[in-house]
Amino acid sequence: MKSKDERATAPSSLASSQTRAQEAEPEAVASPAPAVRTARTRRSDRQLPASLLTPPAPPPPPHLDDYQSIIGQAQVDALRFLARDLKGKTLKMVNSTAVGGGVAEMLNRLVPLLSELEVPTHWDVITGGNDFFEVTKAFHNALHGSPYKLTKAAQEIFLMYNEQNRERLQFGEELVVIHDPQPVGLIRSRDKTPASWVWRCHIDLSNPNGQVWEFLRPFVEQYDAAIFSSQSFARQLPILQYLFYPCIDPLSEKNKELPESQVQKVCEEFGIDRSRPIVTQVSRFDRLKDPVGVVQAYKLAKKYVDCQLVLAGGGASDDPEGAAVLQEVKEAAGNDPDIIILDLPPWCALEINAIQRASTIVVQKSLKEGFGLTVTEALWKGKPTIAGAVGGIPNQIIHRLTGVLVHSVEGCAFQIRYLLTHPEFARSIGVSGREHVKENFLITTNVKRWLLLFRILNEAKSRRKAPG
């Protein structure tokens, strides 16, 4: 999960937890506000509107009933029925960061909703020094397939901090969920507790660095179950493996309904002409998102259909590689006045929301992808979406039914042309795409999965305890 919502806040129970992420939070805020860069020469020096220079205060988290108008009373009732048998049973989530990053963002919404359903949910964050987080960052990249030599020193640092956290944390709950590899060693406390233990892996393990995976695997195999974000991310393991798709919150700043006037205001601020078709890609300036490929596809399509291209993302102001990619994109764009490149700070969720809603088509032409939550966001807004058939994207886009999958610049260009000239088809895949998200990729579905898992593991434990 890569999307970030810096407005998310950890529950108050975390206020005293000292975490690296909390220390890092002001860093994002303190970054110099990037300029809005556009290929339109007349707007090349445009700065961000003053209202975007600092992050706004976080809105309060929604309550379950706030989702009723979106998912229907019957689905809200189903959540309550599911939770009824779990009333009073407790759950603990453990991860490595309280703010920033998709996991913290998701937990910020999930924990209050589970607690509202009378399944008290505690959220603990592990602590560690810079040396620990340097090792876990390297592990993270290695598990994604990057070359890495696992040293004895790295193993010792990893184990030492896991032991420290194991001594610090209490595990009195009925279900303990450990998120990602950083705290995976906490499983060593399992024998001291009656809890079921679950490892929730948010990263793609389909092609891991062998040394790192072989180091972590013995820990993973001690859990009762593992959870992955896509079938293709899983490993062959001797424990139960479940599939929990990542999710979006339809009431978050990035996804909530917006009044037309607000969409219009944002477009005016960024020089987007709503009287003409708008093709948009929202993503960091990262080569794996292929923004240059999107510019090439737009240029091929533009020979046949009139449109503008909006590339909205971030990461260029505080990441040297991001800045280099942004430069490549600007060079590819040349002086085409219809290409609008926006380097936005991470708290511009509402502006991203407005741009997605103003778009005629959304593109996510990734060459490699995690689950691809920007695709989920576009589908939720009913936008006909063209995306690379990589990572978790095929879970979301069923070709020509909920969106369109492409494998090349040329394929992307053709689909832009096709969707812009076949609005009825574009509308129909947009409608189905939104329904797909409603059924499978909303926070409420995620709440349901946790409740189901809790019930299933409890029942399995009861069966094991029953005589005979």
68 binds other proteins (CB under 8 A): no
Bridge partners of residue 196, in order along the sequence? 175
57 binds other proteins (CB under 8 A): no
Residue 353 vs 415, nearer CB to other proteins:
415
Q: State which of residues 193, 432, 458, 461 lies at the interface with other proteins (CB under 8 A).
A: 432
CA distance 120 to 10: 15
Half-sphere exposure of 214 (CA within 13 A, CB side): 6
Per the CB < 8 A criterion, the answer to whether 205 and 180 are in contact is no
For the bound state, the minimum distance from the C-beta of residue 432 to other proteins, rounded and expressed in Å, comes to 6
Q: Which stretch binds other proteins (CB under 8 A): 68-76, 95-103, 264-272, 319-327?
A: 68-76
Site string for other proteins, 11-40 (x = CB under 8 A): ------------------------------
3-state secondary structure 208-224: CCHHHHHHHHHHHCCCC
129 binds other proteins (CB under 8 A): no
Residue 13 vs 73, nearer CB to other proteins:
73
Q: State which of residues 78, 288, 305, 323 lies at the interface with other proteins (CB under 8 A).
A: 78
For the bound state, the minimum distance from the C-beta of residue 307 to other proteins, rounded and expressed in Å, comes to 27
Bridge partners of residue 175, in order along the sequence? 91, 196
Per the CB < 8 A criterion, the answer to whether 209 and 148 are in contact is yes
For the bound state, the minimum distance from the C-beta of residue 455 to other proteins, rounded and expressed in Å, comes to 6
For the bound state, the minimum distance from the C-beta of residue 77 to other proteins, rounded and expressed in Å, comes to 6
164 binds other proteins (CB under 8 A): no
Q: State which of residues 63, 400, 422, 427 lies at the interface with other proteins (CB under 8 A).
A: 400
Residue 106 vs 267, nearer CB to other proteins:
106
401 binds other proteins (CB under 8 A): yes
Per the CB < 8 A criterion, the answer to whether 311 and 329 are in contact is yes
The helix or strand, by DSSP H or E, that contains position 374, with its residue range, turns out to be helix 373-380
Contacts of 105 (CB under 8 A, 6+ apart): 1, 3, 4, 5, 8
Residue 140 vs 449, nearer CB to other proteins:
449
Q: Which stretch binds other proteins (CB under 8 A): 271-279, 289-297, 354-362, 444-452?
A: 444-452
Q: State which of residues 81, 87, 129, 257 lies at the interface with other proteins (CB under 8 A).
A: 81
SS3 130: helix
Q: How far apart are the first and last CA of the chain?
A: 44
73 binds other proteins (CB under 8 A): yes
How many chain residues are in contact with other proteins, going by CB under 8 A? Answer: 36
CA distance 376 to 255: 10
242 binds other proteins (CB under 8 A): yes
The helix or strand, by DSSP H or E, that contains position 135, with its residue range, turns out to be helix 130-143
Residue 62, token pair as written in the block: 């929604």
For the bound state, the minimum distance from the C-beta of residue 391 to other proteins, rounded and expressed in Å, comes to 11
CA distance 262 to 268: 10
Residue 462, token pair as written in the block: 């009861």
Q: State which of residues 199, 228, 298, 441 lies at the interface with other proteins (CB under 8 A).
A: 228
Per the CB < 8 A criterion, the answer to whether 232 and 393 are in contact is no
53 binds other proteins (CB under 8 A): no
For the bound state, the minimum distance from the C-beta of residue 244 to other proteins, rounded and expressed in Å, comes to 8
381 binds other proteins (CB under 8 A): no
Q: Which stretch binds other proteins (CB under 8 A): 25-33, 130-138, 392-400, 408-416?
A: 392-400
Q: State which of residues 70, 159, 240, 323 lies at the interface with other proteins (CB under 8 A).
A: 240
221 binds other proteins (CB under 8 A): no
| CA-based nearest residue to 76, from 87, 65, 88, 61 | 65
| CA-based nearest residue to 317, from 42, 57, 47 | 47
367 binds other proteins (CB under 8 A): no
DSSP character string of 60-117:
PPPPGGGGHHHH-HHHHHHHHHHHHTTTT--EEEEES-SSSSHHHHHHHHHHHHHHHT
394 binds other proteins (CB under 8 A): yes
CA distance 431 to 441: 15
Binding site for other proteins (CB under 8 A): 72-75, 77-78, 81-82, 228, 231-232, 234, 236, 240-243, 389, 394, 398-402, 432, 435-436, 438-440, 448-449, 452-453, 455-456
